[in-house]
């Protein structure tokens, strides 16, 4: 789960990272008022969306008067901000953060990520802040400093000092940098983050180290033990299909294709998407309905997949280990009777009670296309979608 910049800054500040003074606003009027409250004569107005690259996309504006703050906000609120990280549909701007502008001497990149190969938290830093890390690694790979943290002892002082030295920081700032690094690491560990990124971390004209931007992502599977993080979730920033799925406890990722997938098990769901592509189609989603899929759960999955208007065929692929094919078959039949499904549905069942499952499908009298192997199932789904296309797709009411 992602959170907003202002929320990440608040968390990091609680651990000891210095941030500029700022305030949140939900309207241009409130933003102008916030600027007055903050004082000073220059402010930065920042669109709060779950994506980077806002600066280049018009989501970060330097303002010299309260009137300019108001004006900048009028151009932001209600609009969709499209950055290279949002995709073409963009992300809605419903909150802005107003900050006292800071005179910048140097911009540093600082990131904490999970390095899967070493299975540790890795610190990535670069003296070339301001640019995106992808750009830095393409243009100035030699400027990148990497350091992995030994989890048994945590981030060590010498290790943090070494990073500060490698970045070429003024020695007078070393202690401040060490404090900043340790604070980020503690925030990362404490809240089961998967990513902390400060870009830019700046050295100010008066020689302080400030986080000018902040991004944090968290491990969804650990949110249950951090209710204070879970409540920061902002559905306005999520793909509505994925929000619906998360609310129903289903693991769903929306994609651009038109063959909807209902599968049990993440690995099998990945294999199903690959096989659909191999058969010449494009999957509309990743969906893992889990091990013990009850008929109700299967029906929920159908409703979710069909809520994507791009879906023109559905492939149900179940390998019943813990599950039973007859239960799944009952779920499919129930879903097809309850919902008005007028796209072709291909079902492939394997494993426990497969014969009973097949019988239930056959006896239902519903136009279910059956398949035995995964390849066959994918080919039939792609074939059914193509045929449907040539016949002209009808309107669908769900
Ligand atoms: P991003 O584009 O979404 O990563 O948004 P950032 O928060 O990183 O802002 C983009 C850029 O705006 C930064 O790289 C800075 O160069 C600039 N910026 C942000 N805040 C300030 C500030 O207080 N003073 C100055 N001079 N520039 C700022
Ligand atoms: Mn940034």
Q: What is the pLDDT of residues 339-398, one digit of tens each?
A: 888 899 999 999 999 999 999 999 999 999 999 999 999 999 999 998 876 665 444 433
- Whether the CB of 331 sits within 6 Å of ligand 1: no
Is there a single domain that holds both residue 222 and residue 289? no
Q: Provide the annotated active-site residues.
A: 109, 197
Both tokens of residue 345?
Answer: 């549905």
Which has the closest alpha carbon to 108: 140, 78, 76, 79? Answer: 140
Is there a single domain that holds both residue 167 and residue 210? yes
- Whether the CB of 55 sits within 6 Å of ligand 1: yes
> Which domain range does residue 58 map to?
21-101
Both tokens of residue 195?
Answer: 């990513």
* Residue 11 reports pLDDT greater than 80: yes
**Residue 61: strand pairing partners:** 45
For all residues of the chain together, what is the average pLDDT?
Answer: 93
Residues, CB-to-ion distance under 5 Å, ligand 2? 199, 213
Helix 5-15 × helix 174-190 angle, to 10°: 110
Is there a single domain that holds both residue 372 and residue 317? yes
* pLDDT at 249 (0 to 100): 77
Is there a single domain that holds both residue 248 and residue 167? no
Closest ligand 1 atom to residue 83 Cα is 3
Name the residue of 59, 104, 131 whose CB sits within 8 Å of the most ligand 1 atoms, as the mutation to test its pocket: 104
Is there a single domain that holds both residue 206 and residue 58? no
Q: Which of 96-110, 115-129, 155-169, 381-395 has the lowest mean pLDDT?
A: 381-395
| Domain termination site, one of 50, 70, 101 | 101
% of residues, the chain, pLDDT over 90: 79
Is there a single domain that holds both residue 155 and residue 9? yes
To the nearest 10°, report the CA torsion of 28, 33, 39, 41: 40
Closest ligand 1 atom to residue 100 Cα is 23
Dist. CA 51 → ligand 1 center (Å): 14
Dist. CA 102 → ligand 1 center (Å): 9
| Domain termination site, one of 181, 209, 238 | 238
Please report how many Cα atoms fall inside a 13 Å half-sphere around the Cα of residue 230, on the Cβ side: 10
Dist. CA 364 → ligand 2 center (Å): 56
- Whether the CB of 130 sits within 6 Å of ligand 1: yes
Report the nearest-CA residue for atom 6 of ligand 1.
Answer: 213
For the chain, the C-alpha Rg in angstroms (whole number) is: 26
* Residue 114 reports pLDDT greater than 70: yes
- Tell me the C-alpha distance between 184 and 195, whole Å: 10
Count of structural domains within the chain: 3
Is there a single domain that holds both residue 78 and residue 124? no
Dist. CA 222 → ligand 2 center (Å): 26
| Domain termination site, one of 238, 260, 278 | 238
Q: Which ligand is nearest to the CA of 46?
A: 1
Name the residue of 135, 202, 212 whose CB sits within 8 Å of the most ligand 1 atoms, as the mutation to test its pocket: 212
> Residues 6 or more apart from 135 whose CB is under 8 A from it?
none
């Amino acid at each position: 789960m992602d959170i907003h910049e202002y929320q990440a800054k608040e968390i990091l500040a609680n651990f000891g990272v210095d941030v500029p003074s700022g305030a949140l606003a939900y309207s241009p009027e409130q933003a102008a008022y916030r600027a007055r409250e903050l004082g000073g004569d220059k402010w930065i107005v920042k669109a709060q969306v779950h994506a980077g690259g806002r600066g280049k996309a018009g989501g970060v504006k330097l303002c010299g008067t309260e009137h300019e703050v108001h004006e900048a906000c009028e151009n932001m609120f209600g609009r969709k901000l499209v950055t290279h990280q949002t995709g073409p549909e963009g992300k809605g701007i419903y909150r802005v953060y107003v900050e006292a502008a800071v005179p910048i001497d140097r911009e540093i990149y600082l990131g904490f990520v999970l390095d899967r190969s070493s299975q540790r938290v890795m610190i990535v830093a670069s003296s070339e802040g301001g640019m995106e890390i992808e750009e830095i690694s393409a243009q100035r790979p030699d400027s990148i400093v990497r350091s992995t943290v030994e989890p048994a002892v945590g981030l060590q002082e010498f290790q943090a000092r070494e990073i500060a030295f490698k970045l070429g920081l003024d020695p007078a700032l070393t202690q401040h940098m060490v404090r900043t690094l340790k604070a980020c690491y503690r925030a990362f560990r404490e809240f089961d983050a998967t990513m902390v990124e400060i870009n830019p971390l700046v050295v100010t004209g008066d020689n302080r180290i400030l986080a000018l931007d902040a991004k944090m992502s968290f491990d969804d599977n650990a949110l249950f033990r951090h209710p204070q993080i879970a409540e920061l979730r902002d559905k306005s920033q999520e793909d509505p299909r994925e929000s619906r799925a998360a609310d129903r406890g289903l693991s769903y990722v929306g994609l651009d294709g038109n063959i909807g997938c209902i599968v049990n098990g993440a690995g099998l769901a990945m294999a199903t998407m690959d096989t659909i592509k191999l058969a010449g189609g494009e999957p509309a989603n990743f969906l893992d309905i889990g091990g013990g899929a009850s008929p109700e759960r299967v029906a929920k999955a159908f409703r979710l997949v069909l809520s994507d208007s791009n879906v023109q065929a559905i492939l149900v692929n179940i390998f019943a280990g813990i599950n039973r094919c007859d239960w799944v078959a009952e779920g499919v039949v129930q879903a097809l009777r309850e919902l008005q499904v007028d796209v072709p549905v291909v079902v492939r069942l394997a494993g426990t009670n497969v014969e009973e499952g097949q019988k239930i499908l056959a006896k239902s009298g519903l136009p279910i296309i059956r398949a035995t192997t995964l390849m066959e199932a994918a080919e039939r789904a792609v074939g059914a979608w193509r045929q449907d296309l040539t016949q002209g797709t009808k309107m669908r009411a769900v």
